[in-house]
Structure 1
């Protein structure tokens, strides 16, 4: 990868980021600017996760088989000779014009998120230094950690391509993306005093358990998607006409292996895909029941009622889209919405955890500055 291509890629990411940055720049006052920057970065990260799901579900992850460019070029137009040759050799293969553009668009958005996070870090450091380190809500450590985290996410994005969509790498890439979204949601909550409410009695631990269960379920869902096991069971509530179908857990849940292969290099048996699908489906009911119970518990607290209501709505959406992927033979739009619903649940449970644990009682009636929780 030559320096000119890297500069072109960087400028493309900056160009994409200019739209939200202009929206932020128009806001009045530093506090408002910073809060809006956190919000738009969170929004772009959510969109990036949705588009990442679209990239994965359209089998476009290797649309450009190198990284960070496309055949060492900054966009598919400049790599037209290589793409044409690959498409002619394999018209439905991993490299086509549409898949190359989908993959590179995903990378452009990822670069834009990186630019926005750099802007967050620079603003936090600038305010922290200029204030004489007297404004704890602008301690720059969290924003700096975000930059380190997005770099780690970028590394796994590169390994996703260079390791040819190895399932464990792709699944970790998904989980890191959702963790980045969760971190931004936490930062957004800290800089929005109106989110400060009286902590729900006894809600902190149940909310943390709910987030942990959801994380495990998303990991299982990512494992289904990256192993292309979504249609291993095409009936419901049975699977292949059985309550407990024939399954191969050993091969299905061997983490370090190539896509579609066992650790020994043989083709992955269908029973392994069935095991992957069945575990995700079965554990979904555990998570649904727990989150519904958690939402009803939140509804009894005035400060958590709105979050509880949205939890019930999104859980219902997830159940419907999950069933629809089975009955309608995995339509692309519904599969993408299902991924988006998981990201929304992450956002809601992060907000619930913040409100239940760190929003001090009576603080909403105090000054806005005091409403921001201590920054660690």
Structure 2
């Protein structure tokens, strides 16, 4: 089974690798990094789709499906489980959704391995002088994606325990952040005004706030609290509704239960939803302010505009999910919007430090052209 799963991971990586191979970009390594960034965003969105369709236990074991490499081989087990519990978490469709998510994750892992091998080769070939091909971040990425895979396994074996699923989401966003930093390091950027130094701290704070909001959003999703407030901007017709913060934000507990094993009360779900909603206002206000400030810095105007557009769209999709009663497609887009914001803010944090990065990037271009 493990060999079959490894083959599936390689097959999942074949198309992205083919795109890199046939690309006209002279720097294949840079292309590989950005293709991996794109696939990681896809993986995050498909992970949201898996979670939102209740497919996380479509195959209740890991890494395979009932001990097999794919749902076709496990069809008899899946059919038996579905017959025993027609409304349960195991169906043929949910099994395929869960396994496709795992195949995509393995594909990203294969791409990161390829990236690490190329980085080590190019770095040693340049006699350890080429900063852009430094292999330490790609090597760290391999360890990081293995950690992400471990949390993916615990997500299944611990039956969708909210703190595990939320951590799995945060690690996925962290993987995207690291890949985006590596990708931005490969690009030759236009001159940036020295004023960019002034946004280093605000940009780092914005990224920290965004990850906090993603954690709160993951907590909403994993506790199925998205529809705990069906009106906006009020919640149950009140600015501050009845809430149970103690049970709502107890981290180590089973899905839908309190730490004592009782059913989670509705005021706890309200508290989870309300905190995410209120903190969203803080994030939107801060990132919006930062975007306007960035647009006034020479060389970062486009970065500021894209950031402003992205945070505006994210706010609108967040409100729309409430008004439209959390439609699946819009909820997945909302998760994708969070990933795009991570990408943009990571790139902005890099660009704010561009004076120390520009020289190695130009060297990379000369090396790749040669």
TM range (shorter): over 0.9
Distance change >3 Å, CA 367–CA 229, structure 1 → 2 = closer
The equivalent residue for 2:264 is 268
The equivalent residue for 1:84 is 79
The equivalent residue for 1:96 is 91
The equivalent residue for 2:155 is 160
The equivalent residue for 2:110 is 115
Mapping 1:49-60, distance limit 5 Å: 49-60=44-55
The equivalent residue for 1:369 is 363
Q: Distance in 1 between matches of 2:50 and 2:198?
A: 41
Deviation at 1:232, TM superposition (A): 0.3
Q: Distance in 2 between matches of 1:301 and 1:121?
A: 35
**Correspondent of 1:297 among 293, 296, 299:** 293
The equivalent residue for 1:17 is 13
The equivalent residue for 1:150 is 145
TM-score normalised by length of structure 2: 0.95
Gaps of 5+ in 2: none
Deviation at 1:193, TM superposition (A): 1.1
Report if the CA contact (8 A) 2:27-2:365 is conserved.
no
The equivalent residue for 1:170 is 165
Deviation at 1:131, TM superposition (A): 2.3
Report if the CA contact (8 A) 2:247-2:264 is conserved.
yes
Report if the CA contact (8 A) 2:166-2:219 is conserved.
yes
TM-score normalised by length of structure 1: 0.94
Deviations 1:34-93 (A, max 9, x none): 000001111110100000000000010000000010001000010011100111111121
SS in 2 for 1:317: helix
Alignment size in residue pairs: 365
User: CA-atom RMSD, angstroms?
Assistant: 1.8
Mapping 1:227-266, distance limit 5 Å: 227-266=223-262
Report if the CA contact (8 A) 1:185-1:350 is conserved.
yes
The equivalent residue for 1:140 is 135
SS in 2 for 1:274: helix
Report if the CA contact (8 A) 1:65-1:71 is conserved.
yes
Report if the CA contact (8 A) 2:130-2:363 is conserved.
no
Deviations 1:186-217 (A, max 9, x none): 00010011366345141101101111111111
The equivalent residue for 2:28 is 33
Deviations 1:126-177 (A, max 9, x none): 1122222222221211110000000000000000000000000000000000
